[in-house]
Chain A
Amino acid sequence: MSEKTVEIDVENERGETQEQDETRDGAGGNETTREEVAVETRNLNVWYGEDRAIRDINMKVPEKKVTALIGPSGCGKSTFLRCINRMNDQIDGARVEGEVLFHGKNVYDDDVDPVALRRRIGMVFQKPNPFPKSIRDNVAYGLKIQGKTDSLDERVETALRQAALWDEVSDQLDGSGLDLSGGQQQRLCIARAIAPDPEVILMDEPASALDPVATSKIEDLIDDLSRDYTVVIVTHNMQQAARISDKTAVFLTGGELVEFGDTEKIFENPESQKVEDYITGKFG
Chain B
Amino acid sequence: MDVGTALIAQSHRVDLSPTTAIVWALWLLVGFAGIFPGIVAYMVWLERKVAARFQDRIGPNRVGPFGLLQPIADAIKLIVKESIVPRPADGLVHLLAPVIVLASAFLTLAVVPFAVGLVPIDPPSGLVYLIAVSSLSPLGIFLAGWSSRNKYSLIGAMRAVAQLVSYEIPQVLATIPVVLWAGSLSLVSIFDHQAKFGWNAFTPPGLLAFAIFLIAGVAEVNRTPFDIPEAESEIIAGYHTEYSGMRFGLFFLAEYLGVFAISCVATVLFLGGGMPLPFSSFPVNLIDGSVGSYILADAILLAVFLAKVLLFIFAMFWVRATLPRMRIDRLMNFAWKYLVPLCVLNILFAAAWFEVVVRPGRIEAGRWAVGMIGVGLLTAAGVQLVFWANRKLAAAAPIDADWPAVGAARGG
* A complexed with B: no
Interface residues, chain B, with chain A CB atoms under 8 Å away: none
Interface residues, chain A, with chain B CB atoms under 8 Å away: none
